[in-house]
Structure 1
Amino acid sequence: MTMHDDQVDVTTDIVATLIREQFPEWSGRPIRRRPSTGTVNAVFRVGDDLSARFPLRRTDPAEALAVLEREARASAELAQVSRFPVPEPVALGKPGAGFPMPWSVQTWLPGTVAFDADPSGSHAFAEDLAAFIAGLRDVETRGRRFSGDNRGGVLADHDDWMATCFEESEGLLDVPRLRHLWSRFRELPRTAPDVMSHGDLIPGNVLVAGARLGGVLDTGGFGPADPALDLVGAWHLLRPGPREVLRRALACDDLEWERGRAWAFEQAMGLVWYYAESNPTMSAMGRRTLERILEPTR
C-alpha cells in the first residue's frame, strides 16, 4: 500500500539505470533498497559509502530541484558543525528512466535506526542527544529566521491542521481529551529567538550504536526555528528518566519544555491517522509519543 495519493514508484532497476546514465563512475555498484519507515524519500544504498534518495511525492521538477538544492546546502552546513556523524551531500541527479523528478546522493552512514535499536531507557543516549541539540543551538543563525509553514514557528498557526487531525482521529484516539490539551498548548507564548535546529528528531532519523547516539539522518531541514522544536526528541525517543536527563543538560525552563511537548504533540497527532494503514510503524510511533505526552508530570 502506498502512503500518499500522489506517490511515485521507484525500483532498483530504475535507480541502476539513472546511475549508469548520469553517474557512470558508480555504475556496477550493488544497489539495495533500504527498508525504511520514511515518508518523504525512498532510500537506496549505492555500494558501501553512498545513498540515493528519491522523493516519494510527485511535484513540479523545478520546485523539487529547488528543495533538493536547499536541503543540500543545509546538510553541508550541519556537517561542518555537528560533533556526531551526519550524511554529507555528494550530487544531484536529474529526472530520467521513468522517474519524473530530480533526486539526490549523499554519503552513507552505518548504524541502526532508533526504531530498531530502542535507546529510550539510556541516560547516555539522552546526554548525547542533548549535546547534539546544544551544538546546533550554538551555531550562528546569521540573521536568518524561521520562514516555513511546517513546525518551528507559531503553534497557533497549526490550528487548521490540528482540526483535521482531530476529525480524522475520531474512533482512533480520545479526541475530546486531546482537543483540550491542544487548546492549552496553542496558547503557550514564545519568548526566545530562533536558534539553529534539526527539525525532525524522530526514531527513523536517529542512529544508535551501543545505546549511544551514533549519528543523525535527514539533515536537510537544518535551519532557524523555535528553540523548543528539537525538544520533540524528548518524547519521540525517550522514557521519563532519560527525558529528565536531557532536560537538565539543556537547562530547559518550564515554558520551553512545554512548547517542546506541544510540538511533539502536533507532529504525533498527524502520524496516527494518516499512516494508520499505509505505515503502521509511523502510526504506532505517533501513538507512543502521545502516550508519553499524556503521562502524569512530576
Structure 2
Amino acid sequence: MHPGLYPLDDDLVRRLIAGQFPHWAGLAVQRFPSGGTVNAMYRLGDDLVVRLPLVPGGAPDISLEQEWLPRLAPRLPTVIPEVLAAGQPAEGYPWPWSVYRWLAGENPEAGALSEPELLAEDLAGFVTAMRSLTFHGAPTAHRGGPLASLDAATRAAIEELRGIPEEAVDCDAVAAVWADALRVPGWNGPPVWLHADLMPGNLLVAAGRLTSVIDFGCMGVGDPACDLFPAWNLLPADARKVFRAALDVDDATWIRGRARTLSQALIALPYYRRTNPTMAHNARHVIRAVLAEG
C-alpha cells in the first residue's frame, strides 16, 4: 500500500510478546486481515489483539491511543478499545505498539445494513457523546482544520482521476460539489472532540446495531463536520436523514461534512485502487452517494 512498509510477520510479533509480556508468550499469534492502511493487527490467543504500525506515520496513533483511550472510555456510550499493554521498540522493530482486548463484531457494509436507521441513531449517539467531552490539553484532530486546508490535495486527486477513465468518475461534478462547499462558512464555534475517522472499517456491529468504535488514531478536537462521514460512506438516504436529525446539523456543517467525506474518497481512490480493495470500494461508494444527493 505504501512505500517502505515494515516487514512484519508472525515470528516477530511472537518475539516482541515473549520479550516484553512473557505471561502471553504461549498464546497463538495470527495476522488478522483488515482494510487498515497504517497499522497491522495480530490476534493473540482468543481474547487479545496486537496493533503495530506499518509505517512511521502510524506510531503517533499508537501513543495517542495509549494516552487518551483510558480517559475517553468511561465517558462514551459505545465500547472502545482497551489498552492492556504498551509495547516498546525491540527486536529491530522501531515503534511503539499495543495489546488490546479483542472486540467481537463485524464491519458494517454499505448497501447491506440490516437496521440502517437504528444504526444511524447509534452513530449519532456516539458522535454526540464525543462532542460533549471537555478534557483539557486535547490534541488537534487529524483533518480537523478548515475545509480549505484540504483544497490542494482534493483538486490534485480530481485531476489524477481525470487520467483514469476506467474509474468513470464525473470529475466536473465532484469538482463543482467541492467548489460549492468552499464557499460555505467555516466552523466558528469552539473545537469539539472528534473520532475523525468514522469509516466502516472502524465500526463494529452485531445484529445491525453499533457495538464498538475502534481506531482512534485521528482523534482530537476540530470542526464537528469531521464526524459526519458515516452519512455518505455507510448510511442509505433515509438513515442519513435520521443521522442528521439526531445530531441537529445545520446546513453549513452538513455541506462541510459532505465535502470532507468526498475529499477523503477522491484522495483515496487513485492511491488505493490497486492496493487496498476495501478503501477503493468505499471511496467509489462515497462518490456515488454524494453525487446522488445533489
Q: If the length of structure 2 is used for normalisation, what is the TM-score? A: 0.91
1:127 aligned to 2:121? yes
Q: Cα–Cα, structure 1 residues 54 and 116, in superposed 2: closer, same or farther, change >3 Å?
A: farther
CA deviation digits over 1:178-227, x for unaligned, max 9? 22221112222123321111110001000011010011110233321111
User: 2:148 and 2:114 mapped to 1: Cα distance?
Assistant: 30
**Pairing 1:209-248 to 2, within 5 Å after superposition:** 209-248=206-245
| CA–CA distance in structure 2, aligned partners of residues 104 and 117 of structure 1 | 33
| AA aligned opposite 1:47 | G
Q: Deviations over 1:99-158 (max 9, x none)?
A: 3322222221111112499437611111111111111111115374x635x311101011
Out of 180, 183, 188, which is 2:184 matched to? Answer: 188
Q: How many residues align?
A: 289
Note if contact 1:192-1:227 (Cα within 8 Å) is conserved in structure 2.
no
Which of 24, 47, 50 is the aligned partner of 1:49? 47
State the distance in 1 between where 2:85 and 2:75 align: 21
Whole-Å Cα distance in 2 between the matches of residues 76 and 50 of structure 1?
17
For structure 1, which segment, 195-204 or 106-115, has the greater mean C-alpha deviation from structure 2 after superposition? 106-115
Q: Partners in 2 of 1:126 and 1:229 — Cα distance?
A: 16
* Residue type of the alignment partner of 1:50: L
1:40 aligns with: 38
Aligned-partner SS, 2:100: strand
Identity %: 39
Report what 1:25 is aligned to.
23
Match of 1:155 in 2: 147
How many Å apart are 1:281 and its aligned residue?
1.7
User: Which amino acid in 2 is paired with 1:239?
Assistant: P
Change (3 A) 1:270 1:212: same
Give ranges in structure 1 of 5+ residues lacking alignment. none
2:256 maps to which of 250, 253, 259: 259
Question: How far apart are residue 78 of structure 1 and its match?
Answer: 2.1
Structure 2 distance, partners of 1:76, 1:222, is 13
TM-score normalised per structure 1: 0.90
Aligned to 2:157: 165
Aligned mates of 1:276, 1:147 — CA distance in 2: 29
User: Whole-Å Cα distance in 2 between the matches of residues 282 and 120 of structure 1?
Assistant: 22
Residue 46 to residue 115, structure 1, CA distance change in 2 (3 Å): farther
Q: Deviations 1:158-187 (Å, cap 9, x if unpaired)?
A: 122113212321223222222222111222
Inter-CA distance 293–141: structure 2 relative to 1 (3 Å threshold): farther
Alpha-carbon RMSD: 2.1
Q: Match of 2:133, as an amino acid?
A: V
Partners of 2:95 and 2:193 lie apart in 1 by 29
The amino acid across from 1:189 in the alignment is P
Show structure 2 runs of 5+ residues with no match. none
Distance in structure 2 (CA, Å) of the matches to 1:222 and 1:54: 18
3-state DSSP class of the match of 2:293? coil
